[in-house]
Structure 1
Amino acid sequence: MNLTQERILKVEAVVLEHHEWGEADRLLSLFTREHGRLRAVAKGVRRIRSRKAGHLEPFTRVALVLARGRDLWIVTQAETLEANLALHGDLEGIGYASYVVELLERLTYEEGPNPDLYRLLVETLRHLDENLDPPALILRYFELHLLDLAGFRPELKECVTCRRPIQPEDQYFSSALGGVLCPTCGKLEPSARPVSMNALRYLRHLQRSTYAEARRARPAPTVAGEMERLLQDYLSYILETRLNSPEFLRQVRQPLNPANHLPPTSSSESPL
């Protein structure tokens, strides 16, 4: 669909963020199921009597009617489909959801439908809101599948240099080369960093699994931390900058909350 020819749009969307616009309006960043990322203005939404305000908070899934304005879409109707209220209940919830939103915005472009990515966003925010699984698992799953959908899937099955299948032993990972290296090639690659066998096994499990299957993962806290650092370095290399929300999360999680990590299990219980 050519949006330049459309005057009215009916969309389902997640509100990513908003900014004050004029005296009483807000500029919304939306990720829609039908058209990908869009920007729209919610007129008068900052007034006390506005009926739309409660429907247009960040991380909310909404049904919208948009009308073509001079430069931007204008929200004419809004209905909440999924409020995700728990995400606004504390700083950690806001931090996790903000990280998801920031990463999505950095790896996507405005306009262009991507229903699989929309579904991943909706389900990730829902998992964070329900708080049934540790945030570490939810975020690693989101990162790996977002990278896949955005065209930056890291190679985790075979050495990116010699193309030999990865063996069950400690390996190396290179953000510059986009994947794992065997011990022989890794020692010769200046950009490579060591990665443990356990961290790589869990990363591969999350990458290839549905979320229902991924929930079985139970890495020890040290392994979970290694996975997080590896993916943060890879994302920073792709984006050519550090993200803002991880630093915010590190600050609000001090001292570290053990609930953010999955409890370890014996190797016999591993799904890998």
Structure 2
Amino acid sequence: MARVARPPAVQQAFVLHQYNWSETSLVLDLFTREQGRIAVVAKGAKRPYSQLRAVLLPFQRIQVTLSKPGKTADGGSAEVLTLRGAEWAGGMTMPVGAALFSGYYLNELLLKLLVRQDAHPQLFDAYADTLPQLHAKEDAASQAALRAFELRLLLEMGLLPDLSLSTITQAPVDEARFYMLSAEAGVLPHTGEAAAFSGASLIQLQAALLHGSSAALQYACAASLPPLRSALRGLLHYHLGQKPLRTRQVMVDVQKLID
């Protein structure tokens, strides 16, 4: 039997969320490139003199050193690891304004859609590429970056159909016709009041997804922002089920206050 490769002790990571574990320690949800979403205990991180306090911040790329997983009573590996050290690995400053809300929105998507210990290196890279594209004042570039990440996330989860094919018939979409994106049935000929995509735009989006470049995907999304926002909101709501996104509601409430 082939031996399963052990994850490296030192990994690149982002902090998605943190919980109080004791008066002095935290439990962190980390998003790592090698292991995906993992839970770690940061002992002593809440102490005033702890060097970890200034490092374990959201949206900052960090390099973490983790303990080897212990054993559970039945001989399996313990799910929660121990954080032995963490260092800032460079990157952007803390986002502000709309960028801060958007960043927390991305984190909440990852927390609710990713299972633990399931690596998605391309999604990790997309997350790292997206954060600098989120601006303090929401603009078209920020929206394109958000839609591109949502598409990449759905693709990585196996929840996005091939956008270049009509899902039911598996026939190539016609560049000159219009289509809609259904959570239950995939790409369909457009009917009713659903958001409409041209066949050409769907082909462009699928090509950008296959290319793998965040910049290429953001460029493709920029040409279809209104229908993408509506369609992807429907897909995410469908697959989240009974796990509503609190960040989106906070963003809506804040915008109402501003208006």
Check whether TM > 0.5: yes
TM-score category (smaller protein): 0.7 to 0.9
Contact 2:140 2:222 in 1 (8 A): no
* One-letter identity of the residue aligned with 1:166: V
* Structure 2 CA distance for aligned equivalents of residues 237 and 163 of structure 1: 23
Query: Among 154, 160, 170, which residue is 2:167 paired with?
Result: 160
Q: Deviations over 1:191-229 (max 9, x none)?
A: xx633235x654553443233334445858xx6233212
Question: Is 1:26 matched with 2:32?
Answer: no
Contact 1:61 1:82 in 2 (8 A): yes
Query: Among 72, 81, 85, which residue is 1:77 paired with?
Result: 85
Query: Among 108, 112, 117, which residue is 1:106 paired with?
Result: 112
More off after superposition, 22-31 vs 40-49: 40-49
| Helix, strand or coil at the partner of 1:96 | helix
The runs of 5 or more residues in structure 1 that have no matched partner are: 188-192, 258-272
Q: Deviations over 1:90-112 (max 9, x none)?
A: 3x222111111111222221113
The aligned counterpart of 1:211 is 214
* Structure 2 CA distance for aligned equivalents of residues 245 and 202 of structure 1: 29
* Structure 2 CA distance for aligned equivalents of residues 194 and 51 of structure 1: 51
Q: Tell me which stretches of 4 or more aligned residues in structure 1 moved more than 4 Å.
A: 68-71, 129-133, 200-204, 217-220
Question: Is 1:138 matched with 2:141?
Answer: no
| Helix, strand or coil at the partner of 2:94 | helix
The aligned counterpart of 2:50 is 50
Q: Deviations over 1:235-272 (max 9, x none)?
A: 11122233222222222334789xxxxxxxxxxxxxxx
Contact 1:171 1:194 in 2 (8 A): no
Please give the TM-score of this superposition, normalised by the length of structure 2. Answer: 0.79
The aligned counterpart of 2:128 is 122
- Share of identical aligned residues, percent? 26
Q: Considering only aligned residues, what root-mean-square deviation do their CA atoms show, in Å?
A: 3.1
Deviation at 1:79, TM superposition (A): 0.4
Give aligned pairs, total: 242
Deviation at 1:67, TM superposition (A): 2.0
Relative distance call for 1:51 and 1:153 in structure 2 (3 A) is same
Contact 2:165 2:173 in 1 (8 A): yes
The aligned counterpart of 1:262 is none
Question: Is 1:35 matched with 2:42?
Answer: no
The aligned counterpart of 1:11 is 11
The runs of 5 or more residues in structure 2 that have no matched partner are: 71-77
